[in-house]
Chain A
Amino acid sequence: MNETGSTEAGEYMQVAIEHTLGDLSLRVSCALSSPWTVVFGPSGAGKTSILRVLGGLIRPVSGRVVLHGRRLLDTASGAWVPPAERAIGFVTQRPTLFPHMDVAANVGFGLSGLSRRSSKERVAQMLKLFHAEHLAKRAPAALSGGEKQRVALARALAPEPRMLLLDEPFTGIDADLKVSLLEQLTAWLAEREVPALYVSHDVAEAFQTAADVIVIDHGQVEAHGPAQQVLATRREQLLRQLGVSH
């Protein structure tokens, strides 16, 4: 089966999906071109569900997802690429580390096709990137929330994915650490030209860090474009969604 799809110049991903999850009717159609796109919306809007579809954890009723010209999903033709073969890293809100493996084993779990030495080096590199080298031999149960998230990030990036999905990965992390992690992460991604899709319901975070913003509500794309443009045109609505009076 021909796995290739087509994308416009500059776009790295095309998404067109329809799916029903309980009361939520997901209908998303957009193309991504920005290296750092924030998916923003109120709780229950469908942000996480979209990421789960892109990551391959949900198989939608109908849809098509193309990443870097490669068809990951096409219900019309039956094309389906399993999650681990999509070259997409995924960091969830809750850092789900494998509790019976130490940190180094967790980070190295997704590596394949590398020699033992190369795997060890890659794991060490990723732990160093997130200032977690000293945690290598620790069990996940002995880590703080922030440490677990750093390890989860290292684990998601170790296989060198071609895209990164981040579902509010810094929830519960103190502000200074969050800024530091974001800086390191965005620098690493920019160096390797790996685009990221970042879910947030924090207005400041969404509109200050993003190049592009996708606003989601009730499972549908309400707005999509450069952050300042979206903010300017939808400011009142966004503030209302957040329950902010002004």
Chain B
Amino acid sequence: MDQQAIFLTFRLAALTTLILLAISVPLGYWLAFGKARWKPLVEAAVALPLVLPPTVLGFYLLVLMAPRTAMGRAVSALLGHPLAFSFAGLLVGSVIFSLPFAVQPMTSGFRSVDREILEAAELLSPRRTKILGRVLLPLVRPSLLAAAVLAFTHTVGEFGVVLMIGGNIPGVTRTLSISIYDQVQDFAYAQANHTALLLLSLSFLALLIIYRNRGNASV
């Protein structure tokens, strides 16, 4: 099995998950409780990666990150290299592509909190951070877990976006899913089978964790 690909994939998935948790909690909170009229626009934008072909997303990210664009030039100046065909580029693409898998569980979780519990908290504390940290987040722990597990496993399984943005550079952008593709192309079916089994087991384990904890959550 390609050890480099394993390490790279899990590193990408872990970082993507951390970034998405940091984004999905405030964004999910706003989508659940915010009253802005343009909220549906944000919801649609967040959900877009669910329906967009990964290669389309990858293509547009590639165009956006190109050195001739303002964004591409700014990132190149910051990183010292272009975003495309780099681990940083994969990270950006993964965060965008897995966004709905983290945000939607958080939004649903927040929306499911008993309105009266929220009101009881609002009557006692004016600090939204206190209400979020001490009341809401503990109550939506299963949603947090689902967001983390789904973001992680979805990132592990990415192919189209990773191939478009990252190419297939060993040790830099060759993830496990790209590795399976290469192994099949090389007729190395035994190796492909091992790698695929690893991903299958991981996916099943992830779902088991989610469903097991959903059953334990009682509010």
Contact segment of B40-48, B60-68, B93-101, B121-129: B121-129
A85 to B114, CA, bound (A): 22
A96 B114 Cβ-Cβ under 8 A: yes
Which residues of the other chain, B, contact A84 by a CB distance below 8 angstroms? 122-126
A98 B135 Cβ-Cβ under 8 A: yes
A57 to B127, CA, bound (A): 15
Cross-interface CB contact of A99 among B125, B126, B219, cutoff 8 Å? B219
Q: Considering the complex, which residues of chain B in the window 131-162 have a beta carbon less than 8 Å from any beta carbon of chain A?
A: 134-135, 138-139
Q: Count residues of A near B (Cβ-Cβ below 8 Å).
A: 25
Shortest Cβ distance from A73 into chain B, in angstroms?
15
Shortest Cβ distance from B21 into chain A, in angstroms?
20
B188 within 8 A of A: no
Shortest Cβ distance from A78 into chain B, in angstroms?
17
Q: Considering the complex, which residues of chain A in the window 27-62 have a beta carbon less than 8 Å from any beta carbon of chain B?
A: 55-57
A83 within 8 A of B: yes
B139 A55 Cβ-Cβ under 8 A: no
Given the known interface contacts A94-B116, A96-B116, A100-B139, the answer about A155 and B124 at a Cβ–Cβ threshold of 8 Å is yes
Q: Interface majority SS on B: helix, strand, loop or mixed?
A: helix
Residues of A within 8 A of B (CB): 55-57, 82-85, 88-90, 92, 94, 96-101, 109-110, 112, 141, 155-156, 159
Q: Interface majority SS on A: helix, strand, loop or mixed?
A: loop
B122 A57 Cβ-Cβ under 8 A: yes
A83 B117 Cβ-Cβ under 8 A: no
A133 to B11, CA, bound (A): 50
A57 to B120, CA, bound (A): 10
- With a 10 A CB-CB cut-off, give which of B119, B123, B124, B127 has the most chain A CB atoms: B123
| Other A-B pairs, 5, CB within 8 Å; known A57-B122, A112-B127 | A57-B123, A92-B116, A96-B119, A110-B123, A155-B124
A13 to B48, CA, bound (A): 51
Give 6 CB contacts A-B under 8 Å. A57-B123, A89-B123, A97-B120, A98-B135, A109-B124, A159-B124
